[in-house]
Chain A
Amino acid sequence: MTVTDLLSYEDALASFDPVMGLEVHVELGTRTKMFCGCSTELGAEPNSQTCPTCLGLPGSLPVVNAVGVESAIKIGLALNCEIAEWCRFARKNYFYPDMPKNFQTSQYDEPIAYNGYLDVQLEDGEVFRVQIERAHMEEDTGKSTHVGGATGRIHGASHSLLDYNRAGIPLIEIVTKPIEGAGERAPEVARAYVAELRELIKALGVSEARMEMGQMRCDVNLSLRPHGRSTFGTRSETKNVNSLRSVERAARFEIQRHAAVLTSGGTIVQETRHFHEEDGSTTSGRIKEEAEDYRYFPEPDLVPVAPAREWVEELRGGLPELPRLRRKRLQEEWGIADHEMQSVLNAGALDLILATMAEGADAASARKWWMGELARHANETGAELSAVPITPAQVARVAALVAAGDLNDKLARQVIEGVLAGEGEPDQVVDKRGLKVVSDDSALGAAVDDAIAANAAIAGKIRGGNLAAAGALIGAVMKATRGQADAKRVRELVLEKLGVQG
């Protein structure tokens, strides 16, 4: 493998100004495909969800999925776009075995939504406005599995298997205008944009937008220009960057790569590039010596889409509270500072906290567990917070046990540890590990007596009015009871036995 020359990020930014374009494909969560009645359910037997239309059989014809159009309009509206009064589908002609008709039914110069923007909040709270060029409707392709090669790539494979279940699933492609002026924050803006878009899509209920499932896929186009230059440089197109972290890394890598090429007197070739999760690098894919000619023309098998204005307004009126506004509202309701809210968002904890609250926990404790113990666990295991093996209901149960005084924080952490280790529900872990808080005076009294006897000097200080010294005795009792004692009660007993007023 060739090593790619990179300039340090700081040096790259000292000389150049990055310009980005982000293209995001979102698979809609419609029940049926975009142009036929086949199911879109994931995980079915290969080719079990197909029909003449999505297999492109001779004679078959498409019919537009009205829910797909509605979803596209909702996305357009949420992105502050204008909605076309009249637009058409177009055929994008190119050959690929997993594309049944050898053209993709898409939109070309008449997208359903255009000219919008999305405000995204960066980690320090700064708001950056990303201009939206367009959002258009199209269909997904099937999937090829290359068999017999070393890497699952077509090169070296002995044959390929084709699964057309995905062929025809509705996609919305959202394209930004060139993102300029982000400077050194360009990778961060890219990440924040994709994150915000994902939140938006989920809030609209048009897709689950799970990037790890390929329901949302991002292409990062990037070019550099010397500071002060207004024309754009030649861009590279990094395809299928499929996590938030990868989006940021891909942008950063390309900035450093472009800068290295440009400062050494080279030129950037317009090409597509592959992103590699392992090390965050990109490698050259297909060189676009001449722009690919897709021979677009209006799809003659479909009639134009002309959404009535009243319908568009009705959809606008029915839009849910958009993520940024919702976050602002929650932050106010919870009474937390900007930076605290930001870390909740950065950790991907917002929905988990809300779900935990929905299970009965109060905001503060839900936030405490997700942002504390669980975030730490996610960090250590390198997993997304949402992938940590505990449910909001389980966290809510732990919080309830703490609130009822059955667990203290230390015991609660052990319960969570047990749940994460697969020992069952919180109550089962409590039982199995014997983690109930001991507040029974007879059991505690003996432990307190032992502690006083073993620490006569400290006991004396307390008797003498040095209440701060009580901590040492309480610690000793807690140690003896392996943390299960109710610390508050222990303190009361110590003071009582030593005849001191707390």
Chain B
Amino acid sequence: MTDIIRLTAAQTAEKIASGELTAVEVTEAHLARIEAVDEKVHAFLHVDREGALAQARAVDAKRAAGEPLGPLAGVPLAMKDIFTTEGVPTTVGSKILEGWLPPYDSTVTKRLKAADVVILGKTNMDEFAMGSSTENSAYGPTGNPWDLTRIPGGSGGGSAAALASYQAPLALGTDTGGSIRQPAAVTGTVGVKPTYGGVSRYGMVAFSSSLDQGGPCARTVLDAALLHEAIGGHDPMDSTSIDAPVPPVVEAARSGDVRGMRIGVVKELGGEGYQAGVVQRFEESVEVLRGLGAEVVEISCPSFVYALAAYYLIAPSECSSNLARFDAMRYGMRVGDDGTRSAEDVTALTREAGFGAEVKRRIILGTYALSSGYYDAYYGSAQKVRTLITRDFEKAFESVDVLVSPTTPTTAFPLGERVDDPLAMYLVDLCTIPVNLAGNAAMSLPCGLAPEDGLPVGLQIIAPALKDDRLYRVGAAVEAAFVKKWGHPLLEEAPQL
């Protein structure tokens, strides 16, 4: 018997299309898996059993009626709890939205439904996507399937953990500073942050509007490409969405040829402070690429050293404004409305109870950075750094096709280790943040286990804006080479749950 849950999305879709499996069988297998392991992993905040089965039945009916099926028809997906889903809870990992049933679907949700993808449920995340470990979730942390006492990354730790524990073959994430790529790196999965504007943000609860980008998460590069194609493309409901066709990501993922490509190693992303096993696996990856016929050069991006500081001004500034709407007036939690208190008091009490410490910290930080008298020094300077970083990338891409770096400086650290040290937590996203600031595209994919702790290491590939297909071309080549070298996908080395 096929082990349904271990199939890739592409294989699953193929078997459903051919009639070898029904969508209902596939969905039931994944629901059973969730039942069996998620108590330990805690990847899901909400499982929509009925909704998923209804969608699966609809796919089977469609096939029975001879209607054409999309390339991902019947494939289950775990959705980060940041995308609105009509009538299905959407909490963004926060108490302040506990019990909220959105009256509308995000564009991504709509597109997935139209593509006959089966949405299993909503996954855990750091509250409002602020964090790198899911420990900021108001609903408790998620465990890393490689070691349940360690972090699965964040903010999209739930989605990555769902993939790594075979609870779903596809997942959705959002990446503001690394929230797709860093969880992918530490769980041995694939995650892509598309070019800013490549995937609609409509219905994606905003953290930092100019940095947030939804994107695909999967266990293989091809699966990520199929999902990317399903959710990407122009959306008239999002003014910042790019009015251009989705880059040919699926084609690139199927080709995987890097001969003659020029690849730049970013000098500033690596070296001192990086875990030895991470550096070792990264250097091996570079050798693999060279062996595949790519030309590798070193590239300097001097402004990247300011990226983290700029990010922690821009993201909190935007979030301080984006989160102002959570005032207990229209939806979500309301505390202290006993008929004697003013609207201001009720808002204050609700925010006090409804927002976690990290969210409050960033709102305060951002409010300060935008204040008159401080704006130029903080928000203004950060925007200048952003321009410099963008120029560094532009200059780099004049001489190379893609850039590579480790995705994270270390492998997954133990839960609880950095919760009281925000700065140490912020450093986790050192390598991923420059990409968000510049708005271009990047992928993380597994490149082995660090010898010292046996935990996954991620390779980051960075492409120019609108050239997302290059990620898939390079990613597919590296993936194929490693699978050949290891004899199996990396995830097969993960412990059984």
Q: Which residues of A contact B (CB under 8 A)?
A: 52, 55-64, 91, 93, 95, 97, 100-103, 158, 160, 162, 291, 293, 295-297, 300-303
Contacts and interface: CB of A to CB of B under 8 A. Distances in A.
A52 B370 CA distance: 27
Contacts of A300: 208-210, 240, 318
B393 interface: no
Interface in B88-104: 90, 92, 97, 100, 102-104
Contact of A58 (B92, B321, B344, B370): B92
B367 A295 contact: yes
Contacts of A301: 206, 209, 239-240
Nearest to B331: A57
A61 B238 contact: yes
Interface centre among A52, A63, A300 (most CB of B within 10 A): A300
A104 B26 CA distance: 47
A63 B327 contact: no
A155 to B, nearest CB: 11
Contacts of B330: 55-57, 100
A301 B367 CA distance: 18
A102 B203 contact: no
B218 to A, nearest CB: 23
A100 B331 CA distance: 11
A52 B90 contact: no
Given A95-B324, A97-B329, A301-B209, A58 B84 contact: yes
B12 to A, nearest CB: 29
Interface in B200-221: 201-206, 208-210
Given A52-B104, A293-B372, A63 B325 contact: no
Interface of B: 83-84, 90, 92, 97, 100, 102-104, 106, 201-206, 208-210, 236-240, 317-318, 320-321, 324-327, 329-331, 339, 343-344, 347, 367, 370-372, 375, 379
Give the interface centre of A56, A59, A97, A300 by most chain B CB atoms within 10 Å.
A59
Contact of A302 (B239, B325, B343, B371): B239
B239 A62 contact: yes
> Mostly helix, strand, loop or mixed at chain B's interface?
loop
B239 A303 contact: yes
24 contacts: A56-B325, A57-B102, A58-B92, A58-B97, A58-B100, A58-B325, A58-B326, A59-B204, A60-B104, A60-B203, A61-B202, A61-B237, A62-B239, A64-B239, A95-B344, A95-B347, A101-B324, A102-B327, A158-B339, A293-B372, A295-B375, A296-B370, A297-B379, A301-B209
B421 to A, nearest CB: 29
Interface secondary structure of A, over-half rule: loop
Nearest to B212: A300
A58 B324 CA distance: 11
Contacts of A160: 343
Nearest to A36: B237
A95 B239 contact: no
A359 B166 CA distance: 78
Contact of A93 (B102, B210, B236, B370): B370
Contacts of A296: 370, 375
Which 7 residue pairs spanning A and B have beta carbons closest together? A102-B324, A295-B370, A300-B209, A300-B210, A59-B203, A58-B205, A59-B84
Nearest to A64: B239
A210 B201 CA distance: 38
A47 B369 CA distance: 35
A20 B436 CA distance: 47
A187 B237 CA distance: 46
B82 to A, nearest CB: 8
Contacts of B327: 95, 97, 102
A484 to B, nearest CB: 67
A56 B205 CA distance: 11
B464 to A, nearest CB: 20
A301 B201 CA distance: 9
Contacts of A64: 239
A295 B343 contact: no
B239 A60 contact: no
